[in-house]
Amino acid sequence: MFAETAPMSVSVRSLEETENLARCAAGFVKAGDCLLLDGPVGAGKTAFARALIQALLQVPEDVPSPTFTLVQTYAAPAFEIWHCDLYRLTNADELIELGLEEAFETALTVIEWPDRLGSLAPSFAQNLRFRVEDDGTTREITVSGDGRWAACLAGFVTGAST
């Protein structure tokens, strides 16, 4: 088990760097993990989720944004992946109908717009905050959670910081 660490941030300057960070993260996520991707529209949440999911799949497949379906599921070799976009939810009670609580225990859950979870947000979740810098192209991704992220972020880009 990894101990909780102080938030760490990294700057990514392109879609390719965002995808590389997601592929790095794919090396240590497991069933029962929950990634909460927070940030404004266009900050890179879906690009990160898409690259992470594709890195975990044995056979490449299309990974659409679940904005309208709310949940897309994928069968990775080691576990199921739930990609959720909660943007359209208006009430946390709607989450119970989706079956998310069971998925938190058995699958990797990747959730965009996690503020919609309210009190259902798992305490063990890894929080990834995406922010667009003033230049409009650089994204800062801040990760709060356990120490598994430290190695991935520290060696990712020379601009990584703690």
DSSP string, 113-147: SGGGGGGGS-TTPEEEEEEE-TTSS-EEEEEEEET
Judged against a pLDDT cut of 80, whether residue 159 lies above it is answered with: no
pLDDT (tens digit, 9 = 90+) per residue, 68-111?
Answer: 889 999 999 999 999 999 998 887 777 778 888 889 999 999 99
What is the structure's pLDDT at 4? 61
- Please give the pLDDT value at position 8: 85
Question: Tell me: the pLDDT tens digits for 110-158?
Answer: 999 999 998 889 988 999 999 998 888 889 999 887 777 776 777 664 4
Q: How far apart are CA 82 and CA 106, in angstroms?
A: 10
- Report pLDDT for 5: 67
Q: What is the dihedral of CA 23, 40, 35, 17, to 10 degrees?
A: 10
Q: Which of 70, 52, 156, 66 is nearest to 117 (CA)?
A: 70
Hey, which residues does 83 pair with through a beta bridge? 72, 110
Domain annotation for the chain: domains and CATH numbers: 4-154 (3.40.50.300)
Stated as kind and residue range, the H or E segment containing 72 is: strand 71-75
How far is residue 46's CA from residue 146's CA, in Å, rounded to a whole number? 22
Q: Say which residue, 65 or 151, is predicted with more confidence.
A: 65
Count the neighbouring beta carbons within 10 Å of the beta carbon of residue 75.
14
Residue type, 154: A
The string of pLDDT tens digits covering residues 1-43 is: 455 667 888 889 999 999 999 999 998 899 999 999 999 999 9
pLDDT reported for residue 161:
41
Packed helices 15-26 and 45-56: angle between N→C axes, nearest 10 degrees: 40
